[in-house]
Amino acid sequence: MIFTTHLKVPGVFLAASILVLGACAPLPPDGSASSALPASTTAQVAAPKPQPTQRRTAQVDSSGAPAAQRIEVGGPSGYRTEVSISPPKQVCDLDAFADGVQYGYAYTWNRLVMEQAREGGKTAGAPQPQFDPSAIRLQDEQYKIVWNGDQRVNACASDGYLIGRIVGTHRAYTDLKSAAS
Question: What rounded mean pLDDT belongs to the chain?
Answer: 75
Q: What angle in degrees, to the nearest 10, is found between the helix axes of 94-119 and 155-180?
A: 30
Q: Which residues of the chain have pLDDT under 50?
A: 1, 3-52
- Structure confidence by residue, pLDDT tens digits, 85-94: 999 999 999 9
Phi, psi (5° rounding) for residue 152? -85, 125
Query: CA 116 to CA 21: how far, in whole Å?
Result: 38
Residues 97/163, Cβ–Cβ less than 8 Å: yes
pLDDT of the residue at 180: 75
**CA pseudo-torsion sign 31, 32, 33, 38:** positive
Which of 138, 136, 119, 137 shows the shortest CA–CA distance to 128? 119
pLDDT of the residue at 126: 72
DSSP 8-state class, residue 29 = T
Residue type at 102? Answer: Q
Query: pTM for this one?
Result: 0.65
The string over 32-52, giving b where at least 16 C-beta atoms fall within 10 Å of a residue's C-beta and e elsewhere, is eeeeeeeeeeeeeeeeeeeee
pLDDT of the residue at 32: 41
pLDDT of the residue at 6: 47
Residues 6+ apart with CB under 8 A from 173: 108, 112
Phi, psi (5° rounding) for residue 68? -60, 135
**What share of residues in the chain are helix, strand, coil (percent, to 5)?**
50, 10, 45
* H-run or E-run covering 81: strand 81-85
